[in-house]
Amino acid sequence: MRAGRLSAGPGLTGMSFLRHRDTRRAQRHADRLTPVPSDQVSGVISLCALDPVCAVSLVQQMQRWSRWGRGDVVALGGLAQPVAAAWSVGSLMPFGLAGRPEHGLRAADAGEIWALAEHCRPRLSRHGSVCGPARDVAAIWGALSEQGVRARQERWRQPVLAAPHAHSGLGSVRRPRHPSLSWVGQAVRPAQPSETEMVLPASVDMFIGELGYDPTTDGPGYRRHVCWLIEQRRSYVVLDDGAGGPAQPGSPRAVAFKADVGALWHSPDGGIAQLTGVWTRPDLRGRGVGAAALAGVVDAVRRDLVGADGVVSLYVNDYNAPAMALYRSLGFEQVGLFATVLL
């Protein structure tokens, strides 16, 4: 064999051999993934039911869309009894990759992790993310990074918190710090479609503060999402007179507080709601409005969506001290840990 030439076998040059090898390797990896058709999700749903509070985001994506493209949802370990699954459109939402030994489920092996990363990498969008249980995000992020995916920011400690149950309602147990705020919890209600133009700026301000860019610059998708939440009666608001007092009929109104039910699932063990987009107008922060309003939202979500025994949860960056203090003051307790890698 001449120096500098690969021995590739009959009929294969060095470069074609490399392409052939890479194609075969990619095919072996792809064989480890099973695309999940929209009418064959029962196995993935059963997997998610092992930890419904931390899997509700993945289930929400599957239930929101009546159908999806091949490979948008994938399973590892087969359709009937997968060991892990992921939503892979724009952002990646993995669940189960790190294993759940307490339920007898193994972790995905290195080949499966690499296969999932190869599958998802071209599907990730600018301003997308990798988000889910921290151990599952950690399991896939190394492979994605090796394949050239770069992070804008990594948030590895996002406690998942669940609201306490109170038979008389959280708002009656956790009373506002000032009697003058007693109206706030009573004013919580779903936003109306006619109020979209008031709610949208609050949603955008929340988004910019949390993720660092204006989502409306990416097109109409974010506005459609806000409209969808309002149409589904899953965007809760408190309107005031613009100065922190109760709104009066016929007078100008402003959004004082908002919170969305970003994910919702009536799991085999009961209703699960995950709150997102929690926002208090800047001039009202530190005055107890957010706590009174959030207590009212928890009560409203249980009344309207998940039932008295349902779980109302959210996740928060652990470095957000004011938010952590607010949730603790209402009796929220940690039930899991999320991570988000912003792309």
Question: For residue range 70-102, what is the model confidence (pLDDT) as tens digits?
Answer: 999 999 999 999 999 999 999 999 999 999 999
CATH architecture of the region 160-337: 3-Layer(aba) Sandwich (3.40)
What mean pLDDT is reported for the chain?
A: 91
Sequence ranges of the domains in the chain: 27-150, 160-337
Q: Which CATH number fits domain 27-150: 3.50.4, 1.50.40, 3.40.50, 3.40.630?
A: 3.40.630
Split at pLDDT 50, 70, 90, the class of 28 is low
Give the pLDDT of residue 2.
39
Question: For residue range 255-280, what is the model confidence (pLDDT) as tens digits?
Answer: 999 999 999 999 999 999 999 999 99
Q: To the nearest whole percent, how much of the chain has pLDDT over 90?
A: 83
Q: Is 13 exposed, middle or buried (0-12, 13-18, 19+ CB in 10 A)?
A: exposed
3-state secondary structure of 116: helix
Give the pLDDT of residue 30.
55
Alpha helices (runs of H) in the chain, residue ranges in sequence order: 14-30, 42-48, 52-64, 110-120, 134-146, 170-173, 182-186, 196-211, 221-231, 289-301, 321-329
Question: For residue range 151-198, what is the model confidence (pLDDT) as tens digits?
Answer: 999 999 999 999 999 877 888 776 666 778 889 999 999 999 999 999
Assess contact for 158 and 317: CB atoms under 8 A: yes
pLDDT over threshold 70, residue 7: no
Assess contact for 327 and 124: CB atoms under 8 A: no
Long-range CB contacts for residues 145-154, cutoff 8 Å, separation at least 24: 146/117, 147/117, 147/118, 147/121, 148/121, 149/117, 149/121, 149/124, 149/343, 150/343, 151/341, 151/342, 151/343, 152/212, 152/342, 152/343, 153/212, 153/341, 153/342, 154/339, 154/340, 154/341, 154/342
In 3D, which of 269, 198, 182, 267 has the Cα closest to residue 230?
A: 198
Give the pLDDT of residue 4.
40
Region 60-73 average pLDDT: 92
- For the beta sheet containing 270-280, the strands, ordered from the edge strand earlier in sequence to the opposite edge, are 33-35, 73-76, 84-89, 91-95, 129-133, 333-342, 153-162, 311-315, 270-280, 254-267, 235-240, 189-190
Domains 27-150 and 160-337 share a fold: yes
Give the pLDDT of residue 29.
53
